[in-house]
């Protein structure tokens, strides 16, 4: 059965993002939420406890390989949604982190994250590869709660817009002068998938609740790339974070020291690269 309706498809084409409701069961959401608070060593019921490391300004939680995260990555409805976007089931899943962005507070100015808008892909490249990204809303998230925001429909306007921009424009940071950034509220269990050409990011949290989310995306499995496949297997097995400046990892090394390698379902093994789609 399709996850995306005709209407969803039309919305996706027009806006460059789509929301899959109830992408995973509530128990999966609860498990990630508990894991985030435990990993942070914070009391979810005590807002005074939310403004300190180990999460970083902007709320990124350097947690990557926990079973609870994997249970969402390998949840069939999540895979089905990405299958319909990519029009192939032969996908690999990202091993991405979580987010806990606390509300802005006048007495905690150093933790007041204004939000951001960027592109992860290099918009100076030609051709620009088709890519998608995704975020799972772990709780109901109001418009002012610091959640996902983007410029809807920009994937259709990019080529015209870029002609109006200076040659030395930043390939990862759009000039937002003539663009309208929309904040996208959602319900717990919503999986929002976006076209990577949309300028996107998250907003300032002016609510009184923390913003909680898990990032997850999929892309066609690169099974002929044995080095990449082995690297992915090592990441899962040894519970590593991705490399690169954007992913500093957890300085405490909690996952590496105390974590347990996540159990994978048959689907999970293929989504990791432990088993091959093509030998099936
Ligand atoms: O927090 C979000 O919803 C957006 C995150 C983001 O900008 C990204 O994953 O590139």
193 strand-pairing partners: 18, 134
Residue 260 lies in a domain: no
Number of domains the chain contains: 1
Residue 1 lies in a domain: no
pTM of the model: 0.97
Other CB atoms within 10 Å distance of the CB of residue 178:
9
Predicted confidence (pLDDT) per residue in 18-54, tens digit: 999 999 999 999 999 999 999 999 999 999 999 998 8
Q: Mean pLDDT across the chain, nearest whole number?
A: 96
Residue 278 lies in a domain: no
The verdict on the CB of residue 202 being under 6 Å from ligand 1 is: yes
DSSP 14: H
Please state the rounded mean pLDDT for residues 218-237.
Answer: 98
Predicted confidence (pLDDT) per residue in 73-94, tens digit: 999 999 999 999 999 999 999 9
Specify the residue with its C-alpha closest to ligand 1, atom 4.
201
Question: Which structural domain range is residue 211 located in?
Answer: 6-220
Residue 274 lies in a domain: no
Residue 202 lies in a domain: yes
| Banded pLDDT at 267 (limits 50, 70, 90) | very high
CA of 248 to the centre of ligand 1 (A): 16
Cα separation, 279 vs 271, in Å, equals: 14
CA of 5 to the centre of ligand 1 (A): 25
pLDDT for 56 beyond 80: no
Please state the rounded mean pLDDT for residues 125-149.
Answer: 98
| Banded pLDDT at 244 (limits 50, 70, 90) | confident
Which of 87, 81, 74, 72 shows the shortest CA–CA distance to 1? Answer: 81
Question: Could you give the percent of the chain with pLDDT greater than 90?
Answer: 94
Specify the ligand 1 atom closest to the Cα of 59: 1
Specify the residue with its C-alpha closest to ligand 1, atom 7.
201
Specify the ligand 1 atom closest to the Cα of 215: 9
CATH number at residue 210: 2.60.120.620
pLDDT for 280 beyond 80: no
């Amino acid at each position: 059965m399709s996850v995306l309706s005709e209407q969803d498809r039309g919305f996706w084409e027009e806006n460059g993002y789509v929301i899959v409701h109830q992408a995973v069961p509530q128990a999966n959401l609860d498990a990630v939420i508990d894991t985030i608070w435990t990993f942070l060593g914070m009391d979810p019921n005590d807002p005074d406890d939310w403004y300190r490391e180990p999460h970083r300004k902007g709320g990124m939680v350097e947690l990557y390989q926990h079973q609870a995260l994997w249970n969402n990555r390998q949840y069939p409805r999540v895979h089905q949604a990405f299958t319909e976007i990519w029009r192939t089931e032969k996908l690999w899943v990202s091993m991405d982190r979580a987010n806990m962005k606390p509300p802005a507070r006048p007495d905690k100015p150093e933790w007041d994250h204004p939000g951001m808008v960027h592109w992860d892909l290099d918009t100076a490249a030609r051709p620009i590869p088709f890519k998608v990204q995704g975020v799972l809303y772990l709780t109901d998230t109001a418009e002012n709660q610091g959640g996902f925001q983007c410029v809807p429909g920009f994937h259709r306007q990019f080529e015209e817009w870029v002609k109006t921009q200076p040659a030395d424009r930043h390939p990862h940071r759009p000039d937002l002068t003539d663009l309208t950034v929309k904040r996208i509220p959602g319900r717990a269990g919503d999986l929002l998938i976006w076209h990577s050409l949309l300028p996107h990011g998250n907003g300032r949290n002016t609510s009184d609740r923390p913003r909680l989310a898990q990032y997850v995306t999929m892309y066609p499995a690169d099974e002929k790339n044995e080095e990449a496949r082995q690297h992915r297997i090592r990441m899962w097995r040894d519970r590593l974070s991705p490399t690169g400046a954007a992913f500093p990892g957890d300085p405490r090394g909690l996952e590496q020291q105390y974590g347990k390698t996540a159990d994978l379902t048959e689907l999970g093994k293929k989504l990791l690269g432990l088993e091959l789609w093509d030998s099936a």
